[in-house]
Amino acid sequence: MNTKNKGLGRGLSSLLQSGEEIDAAIEASIANRSAEIFCEIPIQQIIANPFQPRTTFEENSLKELSDSIIKQGIIQPITVRKVGKDKFQLISGERRFRASQLAGLEKIPAYIRLADDVQMLEMALVENIQRENLNPIEIAITFQRLIDECSLTQEQLSERVGKNRSTVTNFIRLLKLPAEIQIAVRDGAISMGHARALITVDSNEKQIKLLNLILQKSLSVRQIEELVKASAKPTTANAKSKHNILPEKIEKARSHIASKIISPIVIKRNLKGKGQIAIPFTSDAELERIINILAQ
């Protein structure tokens, strides 16, 4: 199987892979008092953490992650510590590790912790956050590692990195998005603002459809926010009144037109088939844009 990790960020493709390379890097890192190295490790050399508090993993969720890894690769490496010759113990990332096994990967990208000095690792990760060229996904991964491996709360983390807790939370939430969206953010195809709007969408399938729409039509953050709001409105309306329940054919047409004009559309219809179509707008410029599209 081709084990090249398509999901890895730029600059991470030339990973240390042989045992000799890894051992040499470990010796050099210890001499330089570094906290860790980054490499690619054979999965068969990794053993589970006996102190892992989580012992059960939802089968369907694990299969979905496995399928994503086969298609997109590993986006967030696992973390291990070396416990013997060609033997590593998992510190964090067991779900990713199990899904990679399920996907049939032979190797997996990993951070190797060189010591149990949590303070040293924390300092290295916080220093890494200060780099100017990190993309939002790299920042999110580093924040999550600080929480998982240094036992920090989000409040403590926000103090360590000098950012508001809400900012920290917004970054970490990016890691809950499907791999396709994380990669788009990482590569700069969409902004963090786009991603934050997509987080509120209630299914991965809808999120990816909206991602494709952003890429195809170069939608702004405000435009995608309006589309997300529009897609949520029918659900709220349906809960309030049966009169607003639209047949599937009409609802599909509404969604299609809304995506075409990049603006929400509200259809009100009673049980006798009477009603109205409304297209809200917030300025004369937006009204002119909608009219021009409809006139085509």
Residues acting as catalytic residues = 94
Q: Could you give the CA distance from residue 76 to residue 73 in angstroms, rounded to a whole number?
A: 9
DSSP state of 242: G
Give the strand order in the sheet containing 36-42.
Answer: 36-42, 107-113, 78-84, 87-92, 46-47
Q: Residue 288 burial by CB count (10 A; 0-12/13-18/19+): exposed, middle or buried?
A: exposed
Q: Could you give the CA distance from residue 100 to residue 199 in angstroms, rounded to a whole number?
A: 25
Cβ-contact 127, 146 below 8 angstroms? no
| Contacts of 240 by beta carbon, 8 Å cutoff, 6+ apart | none
Q: Could you give the CA distance from residue 190 to residue 218 in angstroms, rounded to a whole number?
A: 9
